[in-house]
């Protein structure tokens, strides 16, 4: 009997160790791009410590072990190398064994940025002109990427690629062409999409469109799935979405407060006068909004309005009467 317990215990210990090894040796799920500088004479130990401290790898021991087994000590090229936390250890080594590249120009696109805001920021950094970038984003022509083929051509959509240029920090070399920038951002979107919906069970355009609205409406992370749930309830019961964010998208300049006349603007994106979702996304949502729209919270709320305390949180209501108690009667809902 004692021998049997020892065998079971041994199996459990080995299993735990195997699980730990697999976890520590696999890449992170979230992506963090980093530029790692290797100096002449740096050992694998030093490179591994830098990667671990920058959270590119989980455990330096496995990185060192792989390097030692493959006799990579002394072969890592000095210079700047761009790597990602989602790369495998062999893939990271491939980067370090190649000639280093310049870091390039760092550009950050916040969650919710529209195509036009992305284009303006790229132009500000001197990478491309706003006009040429918008031309590609409008039609998707000359962009070689599977996502472009999946998107339908809708004459009502302002920019075909709106919603699919993933917000993140990127590094671009001077002289980069617009299509290369777009393809890199689409690659990042595809990576996140595969993490959240590996079976491609969601109808892509509806999912991203809803997520883009949630991105604009939500300020506090904990409310994203609640807000997504409100819009899902309205869609299921054939209510108009009445999202101020969709109106802001078509105005020449965003307003701090919409007027009633703004809610009557003629546009397929205006969800106060049109049923259902707008014809396409109203910005480029981040991972949290995509996830919230994929797993919206089930509840009985149909209304929400921002609180007056400046916290960014909202009052959620089940009925219009209850909702009126929280509104200022100046167009918020």
What pLDDT digit, counting tens, does each position of 181-214 carry?
999 999 999 999 999 998 888 899 999 999 999 9
Q: Are residues 70 and 46 in the same domain?
A: yes
What percentage of the chain exceeds 90 in pLDDT? 46
Q: Is residue 150 part of a domain?
A: yes
Q: Are residues 117 and 93 in the same domain?
A: no
pLDDT value, residue 102: 62
Per the structure, how many domains does the chain have? 3
The range of the structural domain enclosing residue 40 comes to: 23-97
How far apart (Å, rounded) are the C-alpha atoms in residues 100 and 103? 9
Q: Is residue 4 part of a domain?
A: no
DSSP 295: T
Tell me what the mean pLDDT of segment 285-311 comes to.
Answer: 92
Q: What is the distance, to the nearest Å, from the Cα of residue 279 to the centroid of all Cα atoms in its chain?
A: 21
HSE of 85, CA atoms in CB hemisphere, 13 A = 17
pLDDT value, residue 15: 65
Average pLDDT, the chain: 87
pLDDT value, residue 141: 85
Minimal CA–CA distance to 86: which of 65, 111, 48, 57? 57
Q: Among 81, 97, 113, identify where a domain stops.
A: 97
Q: Are residues 269 and 316 in the same domain?
A: yes
Q: Is residue 128 part of a domain?
A: yes
Q: Is residue 315 part of a domain?
A: yes
How far apart (Å, rounded) are the C-alpha atoms in residues 208 and 190? 12
Give the residues across from 306 on adjacent strands. Answer: 314
Helix, strand, coil percentages for the chain (3-state, nearest 5): 45, 10, 45
Minimal CA–CA distance to 184: which of 212, 143, 223? 143
pTM: 0.73
pLDDT value, residue 332: 44
């Amino acid at each position: 009997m004692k021998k049997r317990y020892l065998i079971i215990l041994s199996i459990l210990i080995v299993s735990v160790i195997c699980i730990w090894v697999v976890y520590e040796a696999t890449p992170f799920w979230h992506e963090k791009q980093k530029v790692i500088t290797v100096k002449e004479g740096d050992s694998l130990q030093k490179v591994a410590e830098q990667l671990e401290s920058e959270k590119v790898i989980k455990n330096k021991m496995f990185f060192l072990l792989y390097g030692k087994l493959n006799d990579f000590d002394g072969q890592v090229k000095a210079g700047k190398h761009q790597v990602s936390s989602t790369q495998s250890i062999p893939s990271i080594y491939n980067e370090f064994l190649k000639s280093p590249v310049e870091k390039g120009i760092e550009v950050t696109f916040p969650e919710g940025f529209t195509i036009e805001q992305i284009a303006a920021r790229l132009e500000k950094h001197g990478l491309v002109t706003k006009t040429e970038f918008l031309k590609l984003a409008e039609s998707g022509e000359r962009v070689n990427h599977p996502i472009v083929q999946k998107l339908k051509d809708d004459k009502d959509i302002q920019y075909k690629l709106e919603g699919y240029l993933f917000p993140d920090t990127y590094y671009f070399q001077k002289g980069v062409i617009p299509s290369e920038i777009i393809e890199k951002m689409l690659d990042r979107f595809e990576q996140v999409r595969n993490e959240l919906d590996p079976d491609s069970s969601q109808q892509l355009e509806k999912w991203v469109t809803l997520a883009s609205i949630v991105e604009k409406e939500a300020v506090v992370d904990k409310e994203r799935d609640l807000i997504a749930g409100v819009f899902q309830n309205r869609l299921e019961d054939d209510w108009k979405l009445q999202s101020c964010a969709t109106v802001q998208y078509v105005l020449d300049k965003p307003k701090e407060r919409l007027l009633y006349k703004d809610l009557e603007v003629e546009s397929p994106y205006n969800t106060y006068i049109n049923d259902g979702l707008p014809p396409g996304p109203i910005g480029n949502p981040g991972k949290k909004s995509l996830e919230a729209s994929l797993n919206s919270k089930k509840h009985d709320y149909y209304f929400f309005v921002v609180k007056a305390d400046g916290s960014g949180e909202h009052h959620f209501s089940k009925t219009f009467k209850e909702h009126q108690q929280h509104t200022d009667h100046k167009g918020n809902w």
